[in-house]
């Protein structure tokens, strides 16, 4: 099938986050998927070490999801949700709030993580405004944070390549320092001890700008896309305390950590820290249909409901709560519950941790980080060629039948939550073999 792709077809698809001109001649193609595996068009089987792109938490080809979507499409293919609705949207919202901690009981639907982030940032600013604190407009993100690709998301995000080509960012945004520190924390198992004091950056920004100008802080409880960066012990608690002290909203971007990745429904529960807003996408529908959701606490929802205007929040998407996505979401949540997948990461965490840390002696490995069913394996960059070693690992792993993800020279692993211990061994053994071949 790959040989059937014409030059025109190769040129036609401008691939996202891809070095198109280096890659297009021989694109890696995935043609089929089931359970823990993909198959290439020529029939090669590839063990999925990243749940697609951190999203296929219940494994591939779940027939219940396919059936639910097909039935929904045959019954109601599309319905607007502006000033009207359809039952599945309410049903899904009601099901999801059973999973969220505390009073995060109201759901705004989007179609992606990026849209969830922009929605959350807008809710935060508008919330203060409806409460009569219109001066609270500043947003605070974090270095190396990834919050999708909307202008709001790249503004609060802290990955320079995602920002530097795109002109002016949102005004009034500051960044906390990131928490990656290999000097102090290399090869820590789970969350590192060192670094909680980095949360004090927030006090410094409050002192600089005054709390009355700050709307919200947004962080990934565990940063995934930057290469698996863990919060030091006590760090998120500290951020929460400083936000409370100054009336600042705390947003957890849980597009990756939501839906079982850390062995709890959300990262908020794993870390036992209660945010005011949670953004999600990915695992919400097992990656089968695009969908995102933003969860807000009661006080935020109530403020809009009791606010000054008739329509509370001028925001929404044509496809907010799309029927097909709602059907996929409901079927996915059913699977998670029936198979206990939202806590399976906790059951497997020790075996996973031992397996990934067995790579410590592999060539060029300078750090290994793990949490739940996630791992980051950082390789020493080649002199003058940052990212080259990581990319070589990605290519060779794919040839060897395992799908990994890399950010620069860091390998990220986040397999479907259905992975068996034998498959964990297979994934790590094959990765170790590949690492031995990389000079």
Q: DSSP readout, 314-346? A: ----TTTT-HHHHHHHHHHHHHHHHTTHHHHHH
Integer Cα distance of 246 and 208 in angstroms = 13
Least distance from C-beta 254 to ligand PMP, angstroms?
A: 7
Least distance from C-beta 94 to ligand PMP, angstroms?
A: 23
Give the residue with the Cβ less far from ligand PMP, 227 or 362.
227
Is 224 one of the binding residues for ligand PMP (CB under 6 A)?
yes
Plot region of 167 (φ>0 → left; ψ -120 to 50 → alpha; else → beta): left
Are 284 and 57 a contacting pair, CB within 8 Å? Answer: no
Site stretch for ligand PMP (CB under 6 A), options 35-43, 233-241, 253-261, 384-392:
253-261
Are 218 and 120 a contacting pair, CB within 8 Å? Answer: yes
- Candidates 256, 265, 412, 418: give the one binding ligand PMP (CB under 6 A): 256
Site stretch for ligand PMP (CB under 6 A), options 61-69, 159-167, 248-256, 404-412:
248-256
3-state secondary structure of 166: coil
Give the residue with the Cβ less far from ligand PMP, 270 or 304.
270
Least distance from C-beta 374 to ligand PMP, angstroms?
A: 11
Site stretch for ligand PMP (CB under 6 A), options 119-127, 144-152, 173-181, 203-211:
144-152
Is 48 one of the binding residues for ligand PMP (CB under 6 A)?
no
Binding mask 112-131 for ligand PMP (x = CB under 6 A): xxx--x--------------
Is 325 one of the binding residues for ligand PMP (CB under 6 A)?
no
- Candidates 48, 174, 201, 253: give the one binding ligand PMP (CB under 6 A): 253
3-state secondary structure of 46: strand
Alpha helices in 13-159 (DSSP H): 20-23, 51-54, 63-75, 87-96, 113-130, 151-156
- Candidates 59, 141, 148, 231: give the one binding ligand PMP (CB under 6 A): 148
Site stretch for ligand PMP (CB under 6 A), options 92-100, 179-187, 195-203, 251-259:
251-259
- The Cβ of residue 4 has, within 10 Å, a number of other Cβ atoms equal to 7
Site stretch for ligand PMP (CB under 6 A), options 78-86, 111-119, 398-406, 409-417:
111-119
Least distance from C-beta 145 to ligand PMP, angstroms?
A: 8
What Rg value do the Cα atoms of the chain yield, rounded? 22
Strand order across the beta sheet in which 405-407 lies: 365-371, 374-379, 410-413, 405-407
Binding mask 182-221 for ligand PMP (x = CB under 6 A): --------------------------------------x-
Is 409 one of the binding residues for ligand PMP (CB under 6 A)?
no
Terminal CA-to-CA distance of the chain, rounded, Å?
33
Tokens 């280096």 belong to which residue?
22
Least distance from C-beta 147 to ligand PMP, angstroms?
A: 5
Which 8-state DSSP code applies to residue 116? H
- Candidates 108, 127, 146, 266: give the one binding ligand PMP (CB under 6 A): 146
Integer Cα distance of 249 and 434 in angstroms = 44
Least distance from C-beta 369 to ligand PMP, angstroms?
A: 16
Integer Cα distance of 265 and 55 in angstroms = 14
**The token pair that represents 426 in the structure block:** 């297979």
Plot region of 144 (φ>0 → left; ψ -120 to 50 → alpha; else → beta): left
**The token pair that represents 268 in the structure block:** 């908020």
- The Cβ of residue 137 has, within 10 Å, a number of other Cβ atoms equal to 18
Binding mask 276-315 for ligand PMP (x = CB under 6 A): -----x----------------------------------
Number of residues that bind ligand PMP (CB under 6 A): 14
Site stretch for ligand PMP (CB under 6 A), options 23-31, 142-150, 371-379, 405-413:
142-150
Least distance from C-beta 310 to ligand PMP, angstroms?
A: 31
Residue 138 half-sphere exposure toward CB, CA atoms < 13 A: 17
Binding residues for ligand PMP, per CB under 6 A? 112-114, 117, 146-148, 220, 224-225, 253, 255-256, 281
């Amino acid at each position: 099938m790959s040989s059937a792709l014409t030059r025109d077809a190769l040129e036609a698809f401008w691939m996202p986050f891809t070095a198109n001109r280096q890659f297009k001649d021989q694109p890696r193609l995935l043609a089929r998927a089931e359970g823990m595996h993909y198959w290439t068009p020529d029939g090669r089987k590839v063990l999925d070490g990243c749940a697609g792109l951190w999203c296929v938490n219940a494994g591939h080809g779940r027939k219940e999801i396919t059936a639910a979507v097909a039935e929904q499409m045959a019954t109601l293919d599309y319905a607007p949700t502006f000033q009207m609705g359809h039952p599945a949207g309410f049903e899904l919202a009601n099901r999801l709030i059973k999973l969220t901690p505390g009073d995060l009981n109201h759901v705004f639907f989007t179609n992606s993580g990026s849209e969830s982030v922009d929605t959350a940032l807008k809710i935060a600013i508008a919330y203060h405004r409806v409460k009569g604190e219109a001066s609270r407009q500043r947003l605070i993100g974090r270095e190396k944070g990834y919050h999708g690709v909307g202008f709001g998301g790249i503004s609060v995000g802290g990955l320079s390549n995602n920002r530097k080509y795109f002109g002016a960012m949102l005004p009034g945004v500051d960044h906390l320092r990131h928490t990656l520190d290999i000097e102090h924390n290399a090869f820590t198992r789970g969350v590192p001890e060192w670094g909680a004091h980095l949360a004090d950056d927030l006090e410094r920004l409050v002192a600089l700008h005054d709390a009355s100008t700050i709307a919200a802080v947004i962080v990934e409880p565990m940063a995934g896309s930057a290469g698996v960066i863990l919060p030091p012990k006590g760090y998120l608690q500290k951020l929460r305390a400083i936000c409370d002290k100054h009336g600042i909203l705390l947003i957890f971007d849980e597009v990756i950590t939501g839906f079982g990745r850390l062995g709890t429904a959300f990262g908020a529960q794993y870390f036992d820290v209660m945010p005011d807003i949670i953004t999600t996408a990915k695992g919400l529908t097992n990656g089968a249909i695009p969908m995102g959701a933003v969860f807000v606490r009661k006080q935020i929802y109530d403020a809009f409901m009791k606010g000054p205007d008739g329509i509370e929040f001028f925001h929404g998407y044509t496809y907010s709560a799309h029927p097909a996505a709602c059907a996929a979401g409901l079927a996915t949540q059913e699977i998670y519950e029936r198979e206990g997948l939202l806590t399976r990461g906790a059951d497997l965490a020790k075996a996973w941790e031992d397996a990934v840390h067995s790579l410590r002696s592999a060539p060029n490995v300078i750090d290994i980080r793990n949490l739940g069913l996630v791992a980051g394996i950082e390789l020493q960059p080649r002199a003058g060629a940052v990212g080259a070693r990581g990319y070589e690992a990605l290519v060779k792993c794919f040839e060897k039948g395992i799908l990994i993800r890399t950010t620069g020279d860091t390998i990220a692993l986040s397999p479907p939550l259905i992975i068996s211990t034998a498959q964990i061994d297979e994934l790590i053994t094959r990765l170790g073999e590949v690492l031995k071949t990389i000079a």
